Amino acid sequence: MTMFLAILGLVTLVGCAPVTVSTSTAPDADLSSRHTYAWEPNRQMGGNMDNSIVGQDIHTAVNEALQAHGFRPAAGQPPDVLVGYHVRQQNESEIEGGRWNFQEYHYTEGTLMVVLIDPESKRFLWRGSAEQLVDPSASGEEQAQDIQNAVQKMFTNFPS
């Protein structure tokens, strides 16, 4: 249960905090010749991440982003790419001020990483990650919207 709450808190991103996104594509990855995808099972939370509300929100956002770039679900056929994701939460602290007058700030940063994998070689073709501060008081709707926004920003310059 603790792991579930940590994962849930991870993607409860602060709406006013900026999302930092990075992406990379393998040099020889030709994504324009790939059109179908299937999801790799996520092993976080003892294999239950995909069934969590957060996991479902991630699936929805990534499905929409991929389909906006011309991909479609493989529907039982061999896929052109496999889709995987990982979420991480990390506690951070910073100290501001001088030697005798300082203030320590504690915060939590959440990261969502999405990868596209070649189904035969298992080699990463594309990777996107989004980082943002975590807001533990955000509602479920705010969480879903933050995930949607992060994934949209991640796929802004997707090579298709």
Q: Are 125 and 31 within 8 A, CB to CB? A: yes
* Rg of the chain on CA atoms, in Å: 17
The string of pLDDT tens digits covering residues 92-113 is 677 777 667 777 766 557 889 9
Domains of the chain by residue range:
2-154
What is the C-alpha separation between 67 and 64, in angstroms, rounded? 5
Instruction: Answer whether residue 1 shows pLDDT above 60.
Output: no
Query: What is the band of 134 on the pLDDT scale with cuts at 50, 70, 90?
Result: low
Q: Considering the entire predicted model, what is its pTM?
A: 0.79
Residue 3 or 72, more confident = 72
The residue type at 91: N
pLDDT at 6: 41
Q: Which residues contact 60 (CB under 8 A, 6 or more apart)?
A: 144, 148
Residue 82 or 92, more confident = 82
- Neighbouring C-beta atoms of residue 107, cutoff 10 Å: 13
pLDDT at 5: 39
Query: Which residue is listed with tokens 């594309």?
Result: 126
Question: What is the DSSP track for 67-80?
Answer: HHTT-EE-TTSPPS
2-154 — its CATH code? 3.30.160
Q: Are 19 and 153 within 8 A, CB to CB? A: yes
Question: What is the DSSP track for 122-135?
Answer: --EEEEEEEEEEB-
Query: Crossing angle for the helix pair 140-154 and 53-68, nearest 10 degrees?
Result: 30
For the segment 12-31, the average pLDDT, to the nearest whole number, is: 78
**How many residues make up the chain in this entry?**
160
Instruction: Answer whether residue 8 shows pLDDT above 50.
Output: no
